[in-house]
Amino acid sequence: MQDKKDLEKMKKINMNSDRWPRILFFCSLCIILFLYGFSSYRYKWFPYSFLSKFLSEAEKGKNKIMYPKKDGREFQYRRTDETDRITTYDMNAAFNNPTMITSVSAKDSLCVEIIDMDGTTIHKWNIDWFRIWPDASHIPKRDMPRSRPGTHIHGAVLLDCGDLVFNFEHLGMVRLDVCGNVVWRLPYRTHHSIYKDEFGNLWVPGQRDHETKLAGYPNYRPPFTEPVVLKVSREGKILKEISIMDLLMKNDLPGLLYMSTKNNETTIVTGNTLHLNDVEPFPSSMKEGVFQAGDIMVSLRNINTILIFSETNERIKCISTGKYVRQHDPDFIDGNMISVFDNNNVAPEDYGHQSRIVIQSFTDHRTFVFYTGNDKNRFYTHIMGKHQWLPNGNLLIAESMNGRAFEIDKKGRIVWEFVNIVEKGYTGILEEAERLPGKYNRDFFAGKKDACRHARLNE
């Protein structure tokens, strides 16, 4: 009996003696894996590239979940019961000039067209990334378009000569002549908007992508996006670059750089923390007040903030945070007030929320809603959106995701409405609607087309 007890005791001792080497081996393996994992991230060892590609694909999968197909269609399209492009037109109340429409068209194509008030096309550019920029080398491989449309047009402006300048979203800026020939391409990751100032220069948001740490920003973990204000000549040359991150640091506003952190113990952030989506200089033709000629206004969507700073010394003069939710397209109204396209992105579209046009004063800090939707006339786009004040006091609004543009009078009454119908039962995204000067009529474009065709023949 004693021998049996001794035998059991020996077995337990042997088991314990075998267990400790296994535990030590397991702990050592964990430490080695941790150290290798840290080193592979820092020094880009295997499997860093594989995991980066995997995470990129995961991000695309997340976007497909967040922006699902509608009735089997990609998120660029929406169902509609409308059958006519122009659903409302009060000739006596609307501002009757041509309109430039930037949109996603049928069969995953992109276009910019000039239409009259009846919706008839005056001129049109059919735009194809794969034709215009087949040799792009400034885009990371993971972000390169693979199938049509590949991207979309976000930010477009018409030059006095009739040439079109636009952004392939986050991919670069292009100038086309009236016949669709490439005049120049700017290989910089521009996006969202283009503003032509009174001197013919173009102001546009851009971005620098960082795969390694940036000096002076220790808690910005790669990969991350550094938003940049670009001033570009009409010939496509960069005249000035202003880093928004540097701008905030120079103005003692470092806290705005770290608002996306969710960890109580650290301020480490990554990705697109600020999301610059608009740049606009204050025009000298406006009466000065708080704002003066040479001031620049920018919109930072992801921190619900608008800044106005001096181009000369980069001193921030005005800042507004939290009065809107994921805003776009702030515009100067006069020397003291701005209007803002407030997406009011606080719920999915089927929850009955409405986007808003908000007016804000920087003298008495008063804010009020100039226009919003209601149950009868809905107005909501959770992303994108533009607005334009017209010479007669009306307001032209682009409700982007629903493929709709509409003009309201001073009382908020809809006096013109355009629906971007791409095929029966479907609209395509309408990024922007801009009412143009009257000279951009059919005769203007016909003459310009003849000129550029003759120029091509004589080359």
Residue range 264-282, pLDDT digits in tens: 889 999 999 999 999 999 9
Strands (E), 326-413: 328-332, 337-342, 356-361, 367-372, 386-389, 395-399, 404-408
34 shares its domain with 142: no
14 shares its domain with 140: no
- The pLDDT value given to residue 42: 52
- The pLDDT value given to residue 192: 97
Q: How confident is the model at residue 60 (pLDDT cuts 50, 70, 90)?
A: very low
CATH of the domain at 314: 2.120.10.30
- Domain coverage including residue 146: 76-457
319 shares its domain with 417: yes
Residue-wise pLDDT for 329-360, tens only, equals: 999 999 999 999 999 999 877 778 899 999 99
| Conformational region of residue 208, where left means phi above 0, alpha means psi within -120 to 50, and beta covers everything else | beta
140 shares its domain with 90: yes
Q: Rounded to whole angstroms, how far apart are CA atoms 440 and 399?
A: 24
User: What is the tally of helices (H) and strands (E) in the chain?
Assistant: 5, 30
Residue 121 lies in a domain: yes
What residues pair up with 317 in beta bridges, in sequence order?
none
188 has a pLDDT exceeding 90: yes
67 has a pLDDT exceeding 50: no
80 shares its domain with 34: no
Residue-wise pLDDT for 391-429, tens only, equals: 999 999 999 999 999 999 999 999 999 999 999 999 999
9 shares its domain with 139: no
Number of domains the chain is built from: 2
Residue 139 lies in a domain: yes
448 shares its domain with 400: yes
Backbone angles phi, psi at 84, to 5 degrees: -110, 145
The pTM score is 0.84
Residue 54 lies in a domain: no
Residue 70 lies in a domain: no
- The pLDDT value given to residue 319: 97
Residue 59 lies in a domain: no
- The pLDDT value given to residue 66: 38
Residue 296 lies in a domain: yes
Backbone angles phi, psi at 167, to 5 degrees: -100, 130
201 shares its domain with 336: yes
CA dihedral 327, 305, 154, 332 (to 10 degrees): 80
Q: Rounded to whole angstroms, how far apart are CA atoms 328 and 306?
A: 10
31 shares its domain with 168: no
> Containing H/E element for 135?
none
Radius of gyration over every alpha carbon of the chain, rounded to an integer in angstroms: 27
29 shares its domain with 164: no
Q: Rounded to whole angstroms, how far apart are CA atoms 345 and 275?
A: 15
218 shares its domain with 334: yes
Residue 152 lies in a domain: yes
pLDDT cut 90: percent of the chain above it: 75
Q: What angle do CA 247, 202, 369 make, to 5 degrees?
A: 70
pLDDT cut 70: percent of the chain above it: 85
Residue 148 lies in a domain: yes
Burial class (CB in 10 A: 0-12, 13-18, 19+), 265: exposed
383 has a pLDDT exceeding 80: yes
Quick one: which of 199, 203, 110, 109 has its CA closest to 157?
Answer: 203
128 shares its domain with 201: yes
Asked if 375 and 351 touch (Cβ cutoff 8 Å), the reply is: no
* Mean pLDDT score, 115-134: 96
* Mean pLDDT score, 21-49: 64
